[in-house]
Amino acid sequence: NLIVFSLNLSSRSRTIAIAERRLPKIARTIAEFLVVAICTLSFIFTAASIGAAVLHKNSAGTRDSVEYWAAGVQLVHHGNPYDPKAILPIELGVGFPADDPALVALNPPTILPLLAPLGFLGPRSAEIVWLLLLLAALIVSVRLVWIMHGRPKNYLHYLGYAFVPALGCLIAGQISLLILLGLVLFLRLHRTYPVLAGASLWFCALKPHLFLPFGIALIAWSIATRCYK
């Protein structure tokens, strides 16, 4: 009886050990499933809200992207893209609130080559193109961050697509996602392709006041390491 009891106890111990080893895998699988589910639902709701906004009659005048389109229209017609008196009538024509001051793209002139093509499009088409550009910037940024971290075999990087501030920028049509792309490209390329890494900071220069500490550190780092490329 003692031998049988010992064998049963040993068998139960092995069963418990196997269960303890399997438990983290099960928990990890459940966690990854929840991550994917949350990201999928967030993406669906965001896509639905963007689609509904785009299909709305006067959607082009309700988000920040209207200022970039209006600047493009001014460029196409050889006007001043920074003139609020000329910008306001263009924005009012696509549903911009009449009581608000004109939205002017207060970015450096380096942004103008990016905005000029929008002036050849109608307000709805320009809005769709702009949102697709921002969405592509978000997807590429998250993908590059995943690659830089060694391509981990999990789904945690999908959280980047459901990151609330990023989705907020996408819905509002803000340019911040392009700035994110420039910073990620720099981090991805600065070791192997320093010239391309420096060129990618053109996106960050669209709002240079946000990167003054970064710019100072970058200059100091370039001098200290003699990496002038």
Q: Does the global pTM surpass 0.95?
A: no
Q: What is the pLDDT of residue 12?
A: 47
Query: Residue 46 has what pLDDT?
Result: 67
Query: Sorting pLDDT into bands at 50, 70 and 90, what band is 2?
Result: very low
Residue with tokens 């929840």: 34
Consecutive H or E run containing 124? helix 123-148
Predicted confidence at residue 38, as pLDDT, reads 75
pLDDT at 136: 92
The stretch 34-62 carries a mean pLDDT of 65
Supply φ then ψ for residue 20, to 5 degrees.
-65, -35
- Which has more pLDDT, 48 or 178? 178
Distance CA 29, CA 137 (A): 29
Query: Rounded CA gap, 38 and 43, in Å?
Result: 9
- Whole-number Å distance between alpha carbons of 109 and 80: 11
Residue 135, Ramachandran bin (φ over 0: left; ψ between -120 and 50: alpha; else beta): alpha
Q: Given pLDDT bands bounded at 50, 70 and 90, which one contains residue 6?
A: very low
**DSSP class per residue in 49-108:** HHHHHHHSTTGGGSSTHHHHHHHHHHHHTT--TT-HHHHHHHHHTTT--TTSPP----S-
Per residue in 164-218, pLDDT (tens digit) is 788 888 888 888 899 999 999 999 998 889 889 989 999 988 888 888 888 898 8
Whether the per-residue pLDDT at 140 is higher than 50: the answer is: yes
Query: Any idea which of 49-63, 85-99, 101-115 has the lowest mean pLDDT?
Result: 49-63
